[in-house]
Structure 1
């Protein structure tokens, strides 16, 4: 019964936040605007690769994990550690509601991501970044993009 209620609640959240996929160059501009370029030594290419492998640039993505936690937004930030979704225990290290991570302006998402990356593991906190982005040539992510 509880599991069905959680799935129903997540479905409602998804309906409220219809898929919002941002084009690659527009994502680059948003990430640049939120001062992620160069943050902790990571380029916009790193952040773009992360956003793509985690959500395919979908700011409204929500994913349920096997442990009952959920991942939210373009960077798929986990509710167990970083935000409060009121569905499961959360350390809420970013001191925010998880729904804020679904906002397409990326302000809250960028602030939380900065907190995550400031730890000793950096972008390695994201397994998908480690598997698909780390140590690979990433310059093509900015191809054809202007930040002006």
Structure 2
């Protein structure tokens, strides 16, 4: 009986820790509702393409960089400049804990991504966007997703 209870608890913990990987169309709908389509002149296709190449639409994606900082979440937002990971040297321009950027609720990640686009050089912040999305026809990224 105890073993079954422990296995159930472990199953709940593992399930809670699993990452959420969105589909392209689900993200298109979320991004559209959040006002990302044509935000600072960047079409919805830009956002969907960028999220794909940055994280593969994985909400819990994390990448440790050579300088010790970490990129977090669906947009791979960096801990040194944009969020608080717990180190004193971090700037936290988005006024958010980095852990808030790796949840299934994309609200904080979207607010921070908007701030990055507005306060830097647009989407040039994201290397995945620069390499794979910039200057390309991105209309197919929202094709078939029932978004305007």
TM-score by length of 1: 0.85
CA RMSD of aligned residues (A): 1.8
Task: Give 1:49 deviation, angstroms.
Answer: 0.4
Q: Residue 82 of structure 1 aligns with which residue?
A: 82
CA-to-aligned-CA distance 1:52-83 (integer Å, 9 cap, x gap): 00001001111111100000000000000000
1:1-148 maps to which residues of 2 (within 5 A)?
17-87=17-87, 89-147=89-147
- Offset of 1:126 from its aligned partner? 1.0
Distance, in Å, in 1 between the alignment partners of 2:70 and 2:15 is: 16
Task: Flag the 1:86–1:74 CA change in 2: closer, same or farther, 3 A.
Answer: same
Q: In the superposition, relative to structure 1, how do residues 57 and 41 fare at CA in structure 2: closer, same or farther (>3 Å)?
A: same
Tell me, in whole angstroms, the C-alpha distance in 2 between the residues paired with 1:22 and 1:119. 27
Unaligned 5+ runs, structure 1: 1-13
Question: How many residue pairs end up in the alignment?
Answer: 135
- Structure 2 CA distance for partners of 1:67 and 1:15, relative to 1, 3 Å: farther
Mind listing any 5+ residue stretches in structure 2 that lack a counterpart?
1-13
Change (3 A) 1:20 1:65: same
State the Cα distance separating 1:33 from its structure 2 match. 1.4
* Alpha-carbon distance in 2 for matches of 1:38, 1:21: 24
TM-score w.r.t. the length of structure 2 is 0.85
